[in-house]
Amino acid sequence: MFSRILIANRGEIAVRIIRACRKLGIEAVAVYSEVDRDSLHVKLADVAVCIGPAESARSYLHIPSIISAAQITDVEAIHPGFGFLSENSHFAETCQSLDIKFIGPTSKAMAKMGDKAMARKIAQQSGVPVLPGSQGVLESDDEGIKLARNIGYPVIVKARAGGGGRGIRIAHNEASLKTGMQQARAEAEAAFGDGALYIEKFLEHPRHVEMQILADEHGNVLYLGERDCSIQRRHQKLLEESPSPVVDGRLRKQIGEAAVALCKQCAYTNAGTIEFLYEGGKFYFMEMNTRIQVEHPVTEMTTGLDLVEEQLRIAAGERLQWTQNDIVPQGHAMEFRINAEDPDRNFAPFPGKIDIIAAPTGTDVRVDTFVYSGYRIPPNYDSMIAKLIVRGKNRAAAIQLGKQALSQFLLEGVKTTIPFHRKLLGNNNFVSNNYDINFIDENFL
Ligand code: MV4
C-alpha cells in the first residue's frame, strides 16, 4: 500500500478521500487555493500545500502546480477526486510518465471513454445495447441529415468531447437539425476545442440509470448495482437512489453484465460508472464516467463497500477480495445534494457565511461535508456544500428517514436545497415512481 498520496481536489470529496487514507494508514497531502485556506480538507490533511489563486485554471486545474506539490511532498500517488482533472487523460499520462500513480484508470482507457463517439463504438463491440445512430463521428452535415431520415425524428446531436449536457442539440425536423448541428459544433469547438459530432435517436421520456463497477489490475471486474439519477435540474443531479425503482433483479443482471463486458473490452481499471438511458423496458448505453462520482455513497450504503478504499487498494495493485456472488445490495439508499443555492432566484449560487450547521445523525444516516459553523463559502466553485445519504429497508422507509433527517438538518446563514428536497419527498409523482428525467424542469416544487 502507498505510504503517502496527494489529493488533487477540494471540498467534501477531499475530506472523503482523507478518511479512506486514515483507514489504510496512508498520509494525506492536501492542496488548496488561496480562498480555501479555511477548508476542512486543509485542516484534516497531514500536510497542506497552497497551489495558487482562487481561479481553478491557476490552481486545481493547473497541472504544473499540482505536479510540483506532489514532487515537493514526495507522494507515491495522486487521487483526482471528481471534476477538475479527474477525467483529464493528459494529466493521468503526465503522472504515469513521472512515476506517480494516478488513482484511477489508465490514461489510455480514459482517452477512449472520453471520446463519446468511440465509447459508443466500444459499447456496440461489447454487445451493449446502443440507440440507432451514427457509426462514429459525422463527416458532414449532409451525412447527419441522411442518417436522421433513416433513424426517424426526434434525434439528438452530441459532441464527441462532450459531457454534462454541453454541445448537445435536439432536433424534431430537418430544419432544426441543420441549425442544431451548427450550434452544437460551435459550442463544442468553444468549450472543448473539438467540434466533432455524432447523432442518436432521441428518447423523450427516459430514466437515467447508471451502473457502478470496480475493476482491479488483474482482469477482475465487479458490478455493484445501479443508481437512478433521474431527479436532476439542467444536468445537475439533485437526488440519487439505489436500487432504481425501475430495475428488477433480471434487468440488474443484464445491465451489470453489459457494464462488465464494456470494461473488459477497454481493459478498464479502478472505479467507474456506465450511464444508461432506460425507456419502455429497455436500456441503452449513454456514456462512461471514468472517476469516482459524487453519488458513490449511495452504493456504499447498499453494498457496505468503501469505494474510495477500493480505489486505493486497486491502484496499489491489490486484487478485489470479492466475487460477483458476494455482492448483495441490501435496502434502499437515497442521497440528497445540499447546495448553497437560492430557489427564489432560479437556484443561483448563494455563497456566504454559514452561521450554524448541525447535521442529522443516527443509524443509516450519513452526511459528507467540508463546511462547519462559521465557515465562509467562497463564490469560486461548485455550490454543493454537503450530501445527506440515508438508507431504509425499502424505498418508502428511505423516503421516511430522508424526511426526518432533512427536517433535523439545521443550516443557517445561506439558502440551500433542503426545502426543495422536503417538497420533493412529499410529491405524489415522486413517491409513486411516476417520473422521468424531465420531472424537475417541468414541475415547480
Ligand atoms: C440523450 C437523451 C435522450 N436520448 N440521448 C444529456 C447529457 C448527456 N450526458 C446526454 N444526455 C442525454 N442524452 C438520447 N439518445 C437525453 C439526455 C438528457 C439527459 C440524460 C440524463 C439525465 C438528464 C438529461 C437531461 C437532458 C437530456
Domain covering 132-201: architecture:
2-Layer Sandwich (3.30)
Is the Cβ–Cβ distance between 374 and 354 less than 8 Å?
Answer: yes
User: Tell me: domain 207-443, CATH 3.30.360.10, correct?
Assistant: no
State percent of the chain over pLDDT 70.
Answer: 100
Q: Which atom of ligand 1 is nearest the CA belonging to 229?
A: 22
pLDDT band, very low/low/confident/very high, at 165 (cuts 50, 70, 90): confident
The continuous run of DSSP H or E covering 18 comes out as helix 11-24
Residue-wise pLDDT for 331-342, tens only, equals: 999 999 999 999
In this structure, which residue's CA is closest to atom 26 in ligand 1?
Answer: 235
Ligand 1 center–CA 297 separation, angstroms = 23
d(CA 377, CA 380): 9
Q: What is the mean pLDDT of residues 340-369?
A: 95
Ligand 1 center–CA 326 separation, angstroms = 33
Q: Which amino acid is at 154?
A: P
Ligand 1 center–CA 437 separation, angstroms = 8
| Confidence at residue 17, expressed as pLDDT on a 0 to 100 scale | 99
* SS3 per-residue string spanning 305-352: CCHHHHHHHHHCCCCCCCCHHHCCCCCEEEEEEEEEEEHHHCCEECCE
Q: Which atom of ligand 1 is nearest the CA belonging to 438?
A: 25
Kindly tell me if the per-residue pLDDT of 207 is higher than 80. yes
In this structure, which residue's CA is closest to atom 20 in ligand 1?
Answer: 208
Kindly tell me if the per-residue pLDDT of 445 is higher than 80. no
Ligand 1 center–CA 60 separation, angstroms = 28
Output the CA–CA distances (angstroms, integers) from residue 427 to 229, 322, 330, in the order listed: 17, 39, 25
Kindly tell me if the per-residue pLDDT of 62 is higher than 80. yes
Retrieve residue 212's grid coordinates. Answer: 457502478
Q: Which atom of ligand 1 is nearest the CA belonging to 201?
A: 15
| Confidence at residue 297, expressed as pLDDT on a 0 to 100 scale | 99
Q: Higher-confidence residue: 356 or 163?
A: 356
Ligand 1 center–CA 331 separation, angstroms = 28
Please tell me which residue in 10, 160, 291, 391 is annotated as part of the active site.
291
| Confidence at residue 224, expressed as pLDDT on a 0 to 100 scale | 99
pLDDT band, very low/low/confident/very high, at 299 (cuts 50, 70, 90): very high
What residue segments make up the domains of the chain, in order of their start? 4-103, 132-201, 207-443
Residue 406 burial (CB < 10 Å; 0-12/13-18/19+)? buried
pLDDT band, very low/low/confident/very high, at 41 (cuts 50, 70, 90): very high
Q: Which atom of ligand 1 is nearest the CA belonging to 202?
A: 4
Ligand 1 center–CA 233 separation, angstroms = 12
Q: Which atom of ligand 1 is nearest the CA belonging to 163?
A: 9
Calculate Rg over the CA atoms of the chain.
21
pLDDT band, very low/low/confident/very high, at 76 (cuts 50, 70, 90): very high
C-beta 168 within 6 A of ligand 1: yes
Give every CB contact of residue 26 below 8 A, 6+ residues apart in sequence.
1, 2, 3, 4, 5, 312
Is the Cβ–Cβ distance between 1 and 26 less than 8 Å?
Answer: yes
| Confidence at residue 302, expressed as pLDDT on a 0 to 100 scale | 98
Q: Choose among 290, 275, 284, 215: nearest CA to 240.
A: 275
Retrieve residue 129's grid coordinates. Answer: 445495447
Output the CA–CA distances (angstroms, integers) from residue 269 to 213, 304, 318, 368, in the order listed: 9, 21, 12, 26
Residue with cell 445519504: 389
Task: Region of 26 please: left (phi>0), alpha (psi -120 to 50) or beta.
Answer: beta
C-beta 200 within 6 A of ligand 1: yes
Over the chain, what is the mean pLDDT? 97
Q: What is the mean pLDDT of residues 276-296?
A: 98
Kindly tell me if the per-residue pLDDT of 182 is higher than 80. yes
Q: Choose among 44, 107, 5: nearest CA to 371.
A: 44
Q: What is the mean pLDDT of residues 292-317?
A: 98
Residue-wise pLDDT for 77-114, tens only, equals: 999 999 999 999 999 999 999 999 999 999 999 999 99
Q: What is the DSSP string of 272-310?
A: EEEEEEEETTEEEEEEEE-S--TTHHHHHHHH---HHHH
pLDDT band, very low/low/confident/very high, at 344 (cuts 50, 70, 90): confident
C-beta 199 within 6 A of ligand 1: no
Q: Which amino acid is at 258?
A: A
Residue-wise pLDDT for 10-37, tens only, equals: 999 999 999 999 999 999 999 999 999 9
Cα dihedral: 407, 411, 416, 418 (round 10): -10
Output the CA–CA distances (angstroms, integers) from residue 282 to 125, 207, 261, 327, in the order listed: 18, 11, 18, 24
Q: Which CATH number is 4-103 given?
A: 3.40.50.20
Give every CB contact of residue 43 below 8 A, 6+ residues apart in sequence.
none
Retrieve residue 239's grid coordinates. Answer: 437526488
291 tagged catalytic? yes
Check: pTM over 0.75? Answer yes or no.
yes
Is the Cβ–Cβ distance between 169 and 235 less than 8 Å?
Answer: no
Kindly tell me if the per-residue pLDDT of 164 is higher than 80. no
| Confidence at residue 343, expressed as pLDDT on a 0 to 100 scale | 83
Retrieve residue 177's grid coordinates. Answer: 437539425
Is the Cβ–Cβ distance between 91 and 80 less than 8 Å?
Answer: yes
Kindly tell me if the per-residue pLDDT of 118 is higher than 90. yes
Residue-wise pLDDT for 413-443, tens only, equals: 999 999 999 999 999 999 999 999 999 999 8
Edge-to-edge strand ranges of the sheet holding 332-339: 282-289, 270-279, 207-215, 221-233, 236-242, 332-339, 384-392, 365-369
C-beta 119 within 6 A of ligand 1: no
Q: What is the mean pLDDT of residues 299-306?
A: 98
Output the CA–CA distances (angstroms, integers) from residue 119 to 122, 230, 368, in the order listed: 5, 22, 32
